[in-house]
Amino acid sequence: MGLDPGLRRLALGTLLAAYPGPVPPDWAVDLVADGLAGHTLFGTNVHDPSQVAASTAALRVGRADVLIAIDEEGGDVTRLAHATGSPYPGNAALGAIGDVALTRRVYQAIGAELAALGITVNLAPTVDVNTADDNPVIGTRSFGADPVRVAAHSAAAVTGLQAAGVAACAKHFPGHGATVTDSHHELPTVDVPLALLRQRDLPPFAAVVAAGARAVMTAHIRVPALTGTGPATFSRAVLVDLLRTEYGFTGTVITDALEMKGAAVAAGGVGPAAVRALAAGADLLCIGAKVDAELVERVAAEIVDALTDGRLATSRVEEAAGRAAALATWTRIAGESPATPETNLGYAAARRAVQVDGILTGLGRPLVVQLHTESTIAEGRVPWGLGPHLDGVQEIRVIAAETDKATLRELAGDRPIVLVGRHLHRLPGGPDLIAGLAAEHPVTVVEMGWPAQWRPTGVRAFVTTYGASHANGRAAAEALGLAG
């Protein structure tokens, strides 16, 4: 016996799915027609602007107000520019600049690009306060380590996106910035008193709620003082008592991807995770990136079963689907008057973010050495570094822990060396390689990740970009006098 059509449609109305490839398959469009709330676009769905616009138009054949979401944070996390790197600096760079009006303009420009392609929800900005230098998943995605600064820029980002007709989704509630593990791989724990959470992690969320953010994304993190043994995504104390009752949020609560181990393992699978998230107060369930029709139907069936056996109240799922539909209505109305993108705004902003400690004169044509750094799942494999911007300058790429400094000195000869990396303070072999080279050779270091408190000793200059986007790379190459 098949699912009750009405209950299936109700369940689908709470789901944000995805599909493989650049062209929406028939099943993806058919599910939209059957009531699916929407789809999230990932890098595998993006080839070029005209193709993306054609894809969103195809999805609207299923239903005109389908939600089409994307992670377009600028900086290190980009889907539209995954092949080249983002033309915008990310949050860390904007926070370092400290110009709230600029942050608003950058996010409005990002929103304008999304709106022009038919994308209606940006799963951004990241408003986590990055207080852990070794945070493996937030880092440069954060506006900084100061809650007041992060709150101001977070509100500006939300205002800018929504002025362009694209709904903002602030993430990751109640704050992923103090974690030292990645919720894509495991369930991180932030074991702090609620009073510290209110002082350190929650002010940016209060700011985005006040700024009218249409959506907030949950974090797959464990905060024992609030969530007990499970993640915030499954905690009514977090999603209802804190976010809705205390902070007054009336928009749509969107989960982080339920396929992530921080959620799926805790619940015993994506389907059970969907039921637990709905029961806790989530409205729109992001299934993940690796999605097919069978998975969507399986999750919908799990929700219907929960409605039937009493694990979920019908009123709760109707409330969730209603909030997802209200978000769709807002995007349809707001998208009728989109903004116009500002050309080259991101590159100008990235130049303002570059900070130089030391002397950059006399570099000539150095040997540029890029130290390999693994990308996070959130970032994906996006090109970074100075390479695309160099003019007549040799660049090599090495793994720090496998590289002999004598070999680099021999290759450089009488040329100075420019070492480029991300999160150098925690890169295996990175600090030792830099220190060893600098003791015997002129070395300039370019940090394109979270700069932390670490500083290399003995180098001619330490250049910080606060991100590794295409715009950040161009700005660094210009500062060094190496750009074409």
Residue 396's pLDDT is 96
What does residue 205 show for φ and ψ, rounded to 5 degrees?
A: -70, -35
How is the chain split among helix, strand and coil, in percent rounded to 5?
45, 15, 45
Q: Is the dihedral of CA 20, 22, 23, 28 positive or negative?
A: positive
What does the pLDDT profile of the chain (484 residues) look like in tens digits?
A: 578 999 999 999 999 999 999 999 999 999 999 999 999 999 999 999 999 999 999 999 999 999 999 999 999 999 999 999 999 999 999 999 999 999 999 999 999 999 999 999 999 999 999 998 888 889 999 999 999 999 999 999 999 999 999 999 999 999 998 887 777 778 888 989 999 999 999 999 999 999 999 999 999 999 999 999 999 999 999 999 999 999 999 999 999 999 988 787 877 899 999 999 999 999 999 999 999 999 999 999 999 999 999 999 999 999 999 999 999 999 999 888 767 778 899 999 999 999 999 999 889 999 999 999 988 888 889 999 999 999 999 999 999 999 999 999 999 999 999 999 999 999 999 999 999 999 999 999 999 999 888 899 999 999 999 999 999 999 999 999 999 8
Residue 173's pLDDT is 97
- Which own/partner pairs from 35-38 qualify as long-range (CB within 8 Å, at least 24 positions apart)? 35/8, 35/9, 35/10, 36/12, 36/62, 36/66, 36/296, 37/12, 37/13, 37/66, 37/67, 37/284, 37/321, 37/324, 37/325, 37/328, 38/66, 38/67, 38/68, 38/69, 38/120, 38/121, 38/324, 38/328
What are the structure tokens assigned to 170, written together?
């602030």
Give the other-Cβ count within 10 Å of 365's Cβ: 14
Residue 1's pLDDT is 52
8 A C-beta contact, residue 5 and residue 284: no
Give the other-Cβ count within 10 Å of 375's Cβ: 13
Residue 270's pLDDT is 94
256 is an active site residue: yes
C-alpha of 38 from chain center: 19
Q: Is the dihedral of CA 247, 251, 257, 258 positive or negative?
A: positive
8 A C-beta contact, residue 169 and residue 125: no
Strands 355-358 and 395-398: unpaired
User: How far apart are alpha carbons 35 and 8 in whole angstroms?
Assistant: 8
Q: Evaluate if pTM is beyond 0.75.
A: yes
Round the CA-based radius of gyration of the chain to a whole number and report it. Answer: 23
Kindly provide the b/e burial profile for residues 229-250, where b requires at least 16 CB atoms within 10 angstroms of the residue's own CB. Answer: ebbbbbbebbbbebbbeebebe
Interacting residues of 465 by C-beta distance below 8 A, sequence separation 6+ = 93, 350, 353, 354, 446, 447, 448, 472, 473, 475, 476
User: How far apart are alpha carbons 123 and 144 in whole angstroms?
Assistant: 19
Average pLDDT over the chain reads 95
Q: Integer distance in angstroms from the first to the last C-alpha of the chain? A: 66
Residue 452's pLDDT is 83
User: How far apart are alpha carbons 478 and 390 in whole angstroms?
Assistant: 9
Selecting among 71, 182, 201, 256, the annotated active-site residue is: 256
Residue 335's pLDDT is 81
Sort 170 into a burial class: Cβ within 10 Å, 0-12 / 13-18 / 19+.
Answer: buried
8 A C-beta contact, residue 273 and residue 282: no
Residue 377's pLDDT is 82
Interacting residues of 3 by C-beta distance below 8 A, sequence separation 6+ = 300, 301, 304
Residues in the chain: 484
What does residue 332 show for φ and ψ, rounded to 5 degrees?
A: -65, -45
Residue 359's pLDDT is 93
DSSP string, 257-282: PTTSHHHHHHHTSHHHHHHHHHHHT-
SS3 290: coil
